[in-house]
Amino acid sequence: MPGLGLSLGLFALDVIGFVVAFNLSYRYAIALWLGWRSLPLFGILAVQLMTFYVLDLYTVDDRASRLDILSKTAFGVVAAGVIIAGIVYITETRETVPLFFRGVLPGGFVLFLLWALLIRYLGTLWIHRVARWIRWLVVSDVKPDSPLCKDIAMIDGMGEMSILIDNEQKRESLPEPIRKNISGGFEKLATEGDGNWTGIIIATEGTLPKDLLRRIMELRLGGVRIYDLTDFYERFMQKVPVLHLRDNWFALSHGFDLLHHGVELKIKRLLDLALACTFLIVALPVMAAVAVAIVLDRRGNSKGPVLYRQLRTGVNGTPFYIYKFRTMVSDAESGGAQWAEQNDSRITRVGRVLRKTRLDELPQLWNVLKGEMSFIGPRPERPDFNRELEKVIPYYDLRHLVKPGITGWAQVMYVYGSSTEDALEKLQYDIYYIKNYSLLLDFFIVLKTFRVMLGRRGR
């Protein structure tokens, strides 16, 4: 999982290539240069970039298939072209905007497609070559139930990884993904470390031996990046390892501005109102169609109301009723509250589609208008589940410090939660969001939400 710099570089190359491609097409068709200040050009560029983002073409991964990347690139350019053609047709601007004259659009998209395919082909070659030189060292008193064991596959995608453990005798008790990367005990770094590391992750709860600590200090002064486990998770995985946190981390770490910054809270509320009103207006035809589909889906036990409400926990633990389109049979919880599961037999035919596309969440826009929810925040959970989860998951109640959301960082980064383990994983993303809140992060969450909806990744 190469760094953010590579993704930004790819983004910049797309912008440059797009502007150049359309200038060349404009020059060929009209014998003039378009320049780079054309508002219609930047509107088209915005559609193209968002299409690429939705298709996950700015997440550079050395494990990704080259054919998959190139095919998604071609699809992304074609999709953007179709969207722009539709907008031009609806707005009837083909005869009034020079950019839409004489085949400028088709020519520009064809040239940009060739550019996008070329840089992604060369990019995959470079990424696979560079990945061989990325080396991480983990210094850990790792335990079988450590978050590091769970996330080892994701870390493996970042290049070569070696683990030094406090006692090599524990090797056989560790899961295979961890065991295969163990290269020795702590003493190996103190006596043999050559410093040729991309970065070193300190994943220990106890005090390091003095000779090891001195060697790490020397490596840091020599230019090697050193991360503790929490910093590493935040920077590279965009979540916080809850099981490794202590009270002093919350007391001393930066961030958490969303909890006490009055101006940002007011801006967030204004954006919630604007987004909720906009989406309600735009989505009314879709909501009407969904309501009709639910009414017509009368097979078996699927009879029941179109909408239903359910008690959830809001900000500061205040209960409220959430509104959703009904996706389950009418007696789905006759035996009491229970998690929804993969391929749950209680889900109706229409409900399965609604959950995949997240369209069942649309009535929650009313909760946003009422101020009970935000457009973006942790998923509101049921009080019964909250009471149980707070007993077994440390710091679980922290997610109630902010308003729950229709969508959120945990919802777009992780699958639908259906167990205590899932709830722990999603809490790690929720705390990351609360700690690192910004308008830019909210913007990325909105884009990722569209990607989840179009990719039908819900449950």
Domains and CATH numbers, the chain: 4-131 (no CATH), 135-237 (3.40.50), 258-331+339-454 (no CATH)
Q: For residue range 338-353, what is the model confidence (pLDDT) as tens digits?
A: 666 666 677 888 888 8
Round to whole Å and give the CA distance between 202 and 395. Answer: 23
pLDDT of 174 reads: 73
Q: For residue range 420-459, what is the model confidence (pLDDT) as tens digits?
A: 888 888 999 999 999 988 887 888 888 788 777 766 555 5
Four-CA torsion 265, 270, 271, 273, nearest 10 degrees: 130
| Amino acid at residue number 190 | A
pLDDT of 184 reads: 72
Q: For residue range 235-259, what is the model confidence (pLDDT) as tens digits?
A: 878 899 888 888 888 888 888 877 7
Round the average pLDDT of the chain to a whole number and report it: 80
Q: Which of 49, 48, 41, 51 is nearest to 104 (CA)?
A: 41
Round to whole Å and give the CA distance between 24 and 8. Answer: 24
pLDDT of 226 reads: 86
Alpha-helical regions (H) of 138-258: 147-150, 152-156, 176-179, 186-192, 210-221, 229-232, 247-252
Q: Which of 247, 210, 204, 193 is nearest to 228 (CA)?
A: 204
| Interhelix angle 4-30/104-131, nearest 10 degrees | 150
Which of the pair, 368 or 294, is modelled with greater confidence?
368
pTM (predicted TM-score): 0.73
pLDDT of 207 reads: 76
C-alpha angle 198-208-159 in degrees, rounded to nearest 5: 20
pLDDT of 215 reads: 83
Round to whole Å and give the CA distance between 44 and 105. Answer: 10
What's the whole-number mean pLDDT along residues 49-57? Answer: 84
Helices (H) and strands (E) in the chain, counts: 18, 9
Q: For residue range 1-33, what is the model confidence (pLDDT) as tens digits?
A: 445 567 788 888 999 998 888 888 888 777 677
Round to whole Å and give the CA distance between 60 and 123. Answer: 9
Q: For residue range 106-163, what is the model confidence (pLDDT) as tens digits?
A: 888 889 999 999 988 888 777 666 555 667 778 877 666 666 666 665 555 566 677 7
Mapping DSSP to helix (H, G, I), strand (E, B) and coil, where does residue 227 land? strand
Contact 371, 314 (CB under 8 A): no
Going by their DSSP bridges, the two strands 307-313 and 319-325 should be labelled as antiparallel
Rounded to the nearest angstrom, the gap between the alpha carbon of residue 205 and the centroid of all alpha carbons in its chain is 29
Round to whole Å and give the CA distance between 217 and 363. Answer: 55
The label of the residue with tokens 């204004």 reads 270
Q: For residue range 271-308, what is the model confidence (pLDDT) as tens digits?
A: 999 989 998 998 999 999 988 988 887 655 566 788 88
